A and B are shown apart, each in its own frame.
Chain A
Amino acid sequence: MSDPTSNRRVSAEDEATVERLLAGDEATFTDLVERYHGRLLRLALLFVSDRASAEEVVQDTWLAVITGLPAFEGRSGLKTWIFSILSNRAKTRGRREKRSVPFSALTSADQGNDPAVDPSRFTSGGGWSAPPEKWDEDTPERLLLRQETRAAVDAAILALPAAQRAVITLRDVEGVDSAEVCNILEISDTNQRVLLHRARAKVRTALEQHVGSSR
């Protein structure tokens, strides 16, 4: 009953994209660049501290993608492949500029002990005294249409300690799976989950304040 294609890491769509790129199809290239450029920039900024460096890393990544295409073996999907080229370059650049510390060294400091929810919202017995409100199913989507909400979420992410910001950006913003995130950041699976937990809790709090003030 298993899907015969399930063992192949690369989708038929990715394969077709690579074939068209190798054939020199400009529309496919433009499409790819438009789809990923901003996302690559967002990822590069996790590793280097200034925008100019991040932009250079992204441009280098595109060149590496172009020249590396014939060697693309499809052991991973196209997105994973592009992201790994980007993160390797960004890490190297960050280290060279001595602006970045390995995430493995940051995780213990970044894990922190801050609770997911402000303790003042619970009774001494651990029950809710100021419970969360029920959000409508489309609350975040509706709010995300507004520039100020997007800015609030961006600001909440930006305010996170570096390792938390890296994990939540990769996992939740970019949809990279947990094994790949551990791989990119060179951290353990347990660390990854703790960082994700802290980061999500803070973004939820920011959204909650925003939902509350928008009513």
Chain B
Amino acid sequence: MLTCQQLTELVTEYLENRLSFTDRLRFRMHVGMCRHCRAYIDQMRQTVRTLGRLPAEEIPPEVRDALLVQFRNWKRQ
């Protein structure tokens, strides 16, 4: 039987679809019975989603304008 602690070390392999058929089955059996681990996996999914929404910094207008000038020069050639 998989423990909660062991499960937390297998989450990435699970989410990446890299567990063997048997391990996947054991993983899912545990999750079906354990709401704490369900909460953990859900937090992990939300963490990944949050990372995907981290805004990047904006381009400074003068850098953008300088690049546009270079684009124009290239176009003229």
Chain A residues in the interface with B (C-beta under 8 A): 24, 26, 29-30, 33-34, 37-39, 41-42, 59, 62-63, 66-67, 115-117, 119, 122, 125-128, 131-135, 137, 139-141, 143-144, 150, 153-154, 168, 172-173, 175, 178, 193, 196-197, 200-201, 203-204, 207-208
The answer to whether A173 and B71 touch (CB under 8 A), given A134-B39, A135-B42, A196-B12, is no
B30 to chain A, nearest CB (A): 11
The answer to whether A193 and B74 touch (CB under 8 A), given A116-B8, A126-B3, A127-B3, is no
Q: Are B67 and A33 in contact, with the CB atoms below 8 A?
A: yes
The answer to whether A122 and B4 touch (CB under 8 A), given A33-B64, A197-B12, is yes
Alpha-carbon distance A63/B58, docked complex (angstroms): 19
Which residues of chain B (30-77) have a CB below 8 Å from chain A? Answer: 35-37, 39-40, 42-44, 46-59, 63-64, 67-68, 70-72, 74-75
Q: Are A172 and B52 in contact, with the CB atoms below 8 A?
A: yes
Q: Choose among A34, A66, A141 the residue that contacts B58 (Cβ–Cβ < 8 A).
A: A34
Q: Give the residue name and chain of the B residue nearest to A55 (CB).
A: B63
Q: Are B67 and A62 in contact, with the CB atoms below 8 A?
A: yes
Interface of B is mostly: helix
User: Which residues of chain B are within 8 angstroms of A196 by Cβ–Cβ distance?
Assistant: 12, 16
Alpha-carbon distance A137/B50, docked complex (angstroms): 11
Interface of A is mostly: helix
Query: Size class of B's contact patch?
Result: 35 or more
Q: Are A34 and B59 in contact, with the CB atoms below 8 A?
A: yes
Alpha-carbon distance A168/B50, docked complex (angstroms): 12
Task: Report, nearest first, the 3 A-B pairs whose CB atoms are least far apart.
Answer: A126-B3, A38-B56, A140-B50
Q: Choose among B12, B56, B67 the residue that contacts A41 (Cβ–Cβ < 8 A).
A: B56
Q: Give the residue name and chain of the B residue nearest to A28 (CB).
A: B71
Q: Are A197 and B11 in contact, with the CB atoms below 8 A?
A: yes
B40 to chain A, nearest CB (A): 5
Alpha-carbon distance A200/B45, docked complex (angstroms): 10
A41 to chain B, nearest CB (A): 7
User: Which residues of chain B are within 8 angstroms of A29 by Cβ–Cβ distance?
Assistant: 67-68, 71
Q: Are A153 and B5 in contact, with the CB atoms below 8 A?
A: no
User: Which residues of chain A are within 8 angstroms of B23 by Cβ–Cβ distance?
Assistant: none
Q: Are A30 and B6 in contact, with the CB atoms below 8 A?
A: no
User: Which residues of chain B are within 8 angstroms of A144 by Cβ–Cβ distance?
Assistant: 50, 53-54
Alpha-carbon distance A63/B46, docked complex (angstroms): 37
